[in-house]
Amino acid sequence: MAKELRGRKKKNISGDEIITMNNVSKAYATGAPALNGVDLHIKKGEFVFIVGDSGSGKSTLIKLLLRELVPTSGEINVMGYDLIRIRHRKIPKFRRNLGIVFQDFRLLKDRNVYENVAFAQRIIQMPGKEIKRNVPSILATVGLAGKYKAKPRQLSGGEQQRVAIARALVNRPSILLADEPTGNLDPKNSWEIMKLLEQINENGTTVLVVTHNREIVNAMQKRVITMKKGVVVSDEEKGGYIDDED
C-alpha cells in the first residue's frame, strides 16, 4: 500500500478523489479509438451517470476502471492504485474494492440466490460463519430476504438484477460500477433498481451507472457525464440527458 500512496502523492491526486483518469485513450486493434483523451475525476461518495450513444466508449471506460483493459495512453488511478503500473499479483486485491453489475445479470443458473451471493464471498475466502451472516443481510438490503432458495429462472428480471447487486455488494466494495443495469428491465423494475442504487450510494458507496434511460437520468438530478465517439462532451452536476440527433 505504501507504494500506491507514494504514487498518489507524486501525481498530486486530491485526497477525496476516488477515480482519476488523465488524458486516457484506448485503441483496439481495429477501428477508430474507443476513447480519445478522456479526463475523469470522481470523488468518494459521488453518484454519477454515464450516458452516450452506443459505441461511444462507455463500456471501454468501465473495463479500464476494472483493469480488465489497459489504456493505450494516459493515467488511471482508482482508490490510490495506479492502474498502469499495478503488478499483476495485486490486481485481485485491487478488484475487491469494486462491485460490478451488468445488463445481463450473469448469475450462476444452476445455483440458488443464496449460493450466487455466497460465491463472491468464497472467492475472497471469507470464513463460513461470516458468509452465513453477510449473505442474508445483503439479501435483505436488496429486498430479497424471502427468496434465498430460488433459482435465477424462478425470478423476474428485476429480482435477478437485485441478486446481481447483492453479489456485487456483499464484499463491501467502495465503488459500484453498473453497465446498463436496467437495459433488460421494464420501466417499473428499472426505477426500482435505480432507487436501490441511489440508496446504496446514500449509504456511502461511490456509484457509477452507465445507462440509456433518459427518463430516469432526467428525473434523478445527479451528475451526468455524456460521451460521444470516445470523448467526454459534457459533465454536469444535477444534469440531464442531452438530446442528440440519435
- Total count of residues recorded for the chain: 246
Cell digits of residue 54: 452506443
Cα 160 off chain centre by: 17
Cα dihedral value 81, 193, 126, 97, nearest 10: 0
Identity of the residue, 31 or 127, whose beta carbon is nearer to ligand ADP in the bound complex: 31
Strands 35-43 and 17-26: antiparallel
Binding pattern for the stretch 24-63 against Mg ion, x by CB under 5 A and - elsewhere: ----------------------------------xx----
Identity of the residue, 59 or 190, whose beta carbon is nearer to Mg ion in the bound complex: 59
Strands 17-26 and 73-78: antiparallel
Identity of the residue, 103 or 201, whose beta carbon is nearer to Mg ion in the bound complex: 103
Quick check: 103 binds ligand ADP (CB under 6 A)? no
Work out how close the CB of 28 gets to ligand ADP at its nearest, in angstroms, rounded to a whole number: 3
The letter for the amino acid at 232 is V
Identity of the residue, 36 or 160, whose beta carbon is nearer to ligand ADP in the bound complex: 36
Give CA separation, 150 vs 109, 159, 181, in Å.
10, 10, 21
Quick check: 56 binds ligand ADP (CB under 6 A)? yes
Query: Which does residue 31 touch among Mg ion, ligand ADP, none (CB within 5 to 8 A, set by kind)?
Result: ligand ADP
Classify the phi-psi angles of 157: left when phi > 0, otherwise alpha if psi is within -120 to 50, otherwise beta: alpha
Binding pattern for the stretch 15-54 against ligand ADP, x by CB under 6 A and - elsewhere: -------------x-xx--x-----------------x-x
Residues lying near ligand ADP in the complex (CB under 6 A) are found at 28, 30-31, 34, 52, 54-60
